[in-house]
Amino acid sequence: MFLEKVCNSTDARNSLLCVGLDPPQELVARLGFSTYAEFNREIVEATHSVVCAYKPQVAYYSALAKEQELEATISSIKLRYPDIPVILDAKRSDIGNTAIQYAKEVFDRFNADAVTVNPYMGLDTIEPFLAHSERGVIVLVKTSNPGANDFRN
Protein backbone atom coordinates (compact mmCIF):
# COMPACT_ATOMS: atom_id res chain seq x y z
CA MET A 1 0.00 0.00 0.00
CA PHE A 2 2.83 2.46 0.82
CA LEU A 3 4.61 1.90 -2.48
CA GLU A 4 1.37 2.48 -4.36
CA LYS A 5 0.67 5.62 -2.33
CA VAL A 6 4.10 7.13 -2.95
CA CYS A 7 3.98 6.25 -6.66
CA ASN A 8 0.54 7.83 -7.01
CA SER A 9 1.70 10.94 -5.19
CA THR A 10 4.82 11.15 -7.34
CA ASP A 11 2.81 10.74 -10.54
CA ALA A 12 0.12 13.23 -9.49
CA ARG A 13 2.67 15.95 -8.79
CA ASN A 14 5.33 14.89 -11.30
CA SER A 15 7.78 15.20 -8.44
CA LEU A 16 10.28 13.20 -6.41
CA LEU A 17 10.57 15.93 -3.79
CA CYS A 18 10.34 14.73 -0.19
CA VAL A 19 10.17 17.58 2.31
CA GLY A 20 11.71 17.10 5.73
CA LEU A 21 9.80 18.47 8.69
CA ASP A 22 12.69 19.02 11.08
CA PRO A 23 11.72 22.24 12.85
CA PRO A 24 14.63 24.08 14.46
CA GLN A 25 13.37 25.35 17.81
CA GLU A 26 15.01 28.78 17.39
CA LEU A 27 13.45 29.34 13.95
CA VAL A 28 9.98 28.31 15.06
CA ALA A 29 10.14 30.80 17.93
CA ARG A 30 11.77 33.56 15.87
CA LEU A 31 9.05 33.36 13.24
CA GLY A 32 6.39 33.67 15.93
CA PHE A 33 4.83 30.22 15.78
CA SER A 34 3.54 28.95 19.10
CA THR A 35 3.74 25.27 18.10
CA TYR A 36 5.71 23.03 15.79
CA ALA A 37 2.41 21.90 14.31
CA GLU A 38 1.62 25.48 13.20
CA PHE A 39 5.10 25.88 11.72
CA ASN A 40 4.79 22.57 9.87
CA ARG A 41 1.29 23.40 8.64
CA GLU A 42 2.70 26.49 6.91
CA ILE A 43 5.37 24.39 5.22
CA VAL A 44 2.82 21.79 4.13
CA GLU A 45 0.46 24.44 2.76
CA ALA A 46 3.31 26.00 0.77
CA THR A 47 4.57 22.70 -0.66
CA HIS A 48 1.70 20.20 -0.93
CA SER A 49 1.35 20.67 -4.68
CA VAL A 50 4.99 19.83 -5.41
CA VAL A 51 5.92 17.03 -2.99
CA CYS A 52 5.62 13.28 -3.19
CA ALA A 53 6.06 12.80 0.58
CA TYR A 54 6.76 14.46 3.92
CA LYS A 55 9.45 13.18 6.28
CA PRO A 56 9.43 14.42 9.88
CA GLN A 57 12.54 13.51 11.91
CA VAL A 58 11.34 12.15 15.25
CA ALA A 59 14.34 13.43 17.24
CA TYR A 60 13.35 17.06 16.68
CA TYR A 61 10.13 16.34 18.56
CA SER A 62 11.14 13.78 21.18
CA ALA A 63 14.22 15.72 22.32
CA LEU A 64 11.92 18.49 23.50
CA ALA A 65 8.98 16.31 24.60
CA LYS A 66 6.95 17.53 21.62
CA GLU A 67 5.68 14.18 20.40
CA GLN A 68 2.13 15.57 20.49
CA GLU A 69 3.26 18.16 17.95
CA LEU A 70 4.49 15.33 15.72
CA GLU A 71 1.19 13.51 16.12
CA ALA A 72 -0.69 16.71 15.27
CA THR A 73 1.49 17.32 12.21
CA ILE A 74 0.97 13.83 10.83
CA SER A 75 -2.78 13.94 11.58
CA SER A 76 -3.07 17.29 9.81
CA ILE A 77 -1.28 16.01 6.70
CA LYS A 78 -3.43 12.89 6.60
CA LEU A 79 -6.61 14.93 7.02
CA ARG A 80 -5.83 17.64 4.48
CA TYR A 81 -3.73 15.65 1.98
CA PRO A 82 -4.45 11.95 2.50
CA ASP A 83 -2.77 11.04 -0.77
CA ILE A 84 0.65 12.34 0.37
CA PRO A 85 2.56 9.74 2.38
CA VAL A 86 4.33 10.51 5.64
CA ILE A 87 7.68 8.82 6.25
CA LEU A 88 8.77 8.95 9.88
CA ASP A 89 12.52 9.41 9.91
CA ALA A 90 13.34 7.45 13.05
CA LYS A 91 16.14 5.08 11.98
CA ARG A 92 14.86 2.67 14.63
CA SER A 93 16.71 -0.55 15.39
CA ASP A 94 16.62 -2.90 18.32
CA ILE A 95 15.96 -6.53 19.12
CA GLY A 96 12.97 -8.56 20.23
CA ASN A 97 10.16 -6.90 22.11
CA THR A 98 11.79 -3.48 21.90
CA ALA A 99 11.66 -3.59 18.10
CA ILE A 100 8.00 -4.57 18.34
CA GLN A 101 7.35 -1.53 20.54
CA TYR A 102 9.16 0.75 18.09
CA ALA A 103 6.96 -0.57 15.27
CA LYS A 104 3.86 0.13 17.37
CA GLU A 105 5.12 3.64 18.09
CA VAL A 106 5.67 4.42 14.43
CA PHE A 107 2.60 2.81 12.92
CA ASP A 108 0.01 2.78 15.71
CA ARG A 109 0.83 5.89 17.70
CA PHE A 110 2.12 8.20 14.97
CA ASN A 111 0.22 6.56 12.07
CA ALA A 112 3.13 7.01 9.68
CA ASP A 113 2.89 5.46 6.23
CA ALA A 114 6.54 4.42 6.38
CA VAL A 115 9.59 4.49 8.63
CA THR A 116 13.34 4.59 8.23
CA VAL A 117 15.16 1.76 10.01
CA ASN A 118 18.78 0.90 10.70
CA PRO A 119 19.55 -2.78 10.00
CA TYR A 120 22.98 -2.75 11.68
CA MET A 121 22.01 -5.40 14.25
CA GLY A 122 20.44 -7.76 11.71
CA LEU A 123 17.25 -8.65 9.88
CA ASP A 124 15.44 -9.59 13.09
CA THR A 125 15.59 -5.93 14.16
CA ILE A 126 13.46 -4.84 11.21
CA GLU A 127 11.08 -7.80 11.02
CA PRO A 128 8.54 -6.21 13.41
CA PHE A 129 8.28 -3.28 11.00
CA LEU A 130 7.97 -5.58 7.98
CA ALA A 131 5.03 -7.31 9.71
CA HIS A 132 3.03 -4.17 8.88
CA SER A 133 2.80 -5.12 5.21
CA GLU A 134 0.58 -2.16 4.29
CA ARG A 135 3.27 0.25 5.51
CA GLY A 136 6.68 1.06 4.11
CA VAL A 137 10.04 0.27 5.62
CA ILE A 138 12.99 2.24 4.28
CA VAL A 139 16.24 0.53 5.20
CA LEU A 140 19.27 2.72 5.78
CA VAL A 141 22.10 1.22 3.77
CA LYS A 142 24.60 3.97 3.06
CA THR A 143 24.90 7.56 4.18
CA SER A 144 26.97 10.47 2.92
CA ASN A 145 28.30 11.70 6.26
CA PRO A 146 32.10 11.65 6.74
CA GLY A 147 32.00 8.89 9.38
CA ALA A 148 29.79 6.55 7.37
CA ASN A 149 32.55 3.96 7.02
CA ASP A 150 33.85 4.11 10.59
CA PHE A 151 32.18 0.82 11.58
CA ARG A 152 31.33 -0.74 8.23
CA ASN A 153 32.89 -0.70 4.80
Q: Known catalytic residues?
A: 91
71 contacts: CB under 8 Å, gap ≥ 6: 109, 110, 111
Going by C-alpha positions, the residue among 51, 112, 40, 114 that lies closest to residue 84 is 51
Residue type at 59? A
From CA 72, how far away is CA 106, in angstroms rounded? 14
The counts of H helices and E strands in the chain are 7, 5
Compute the CA torsion angle 72, 62, 83, 3 (nearest 10 deg). -160
Give SS3 for 121.
coil
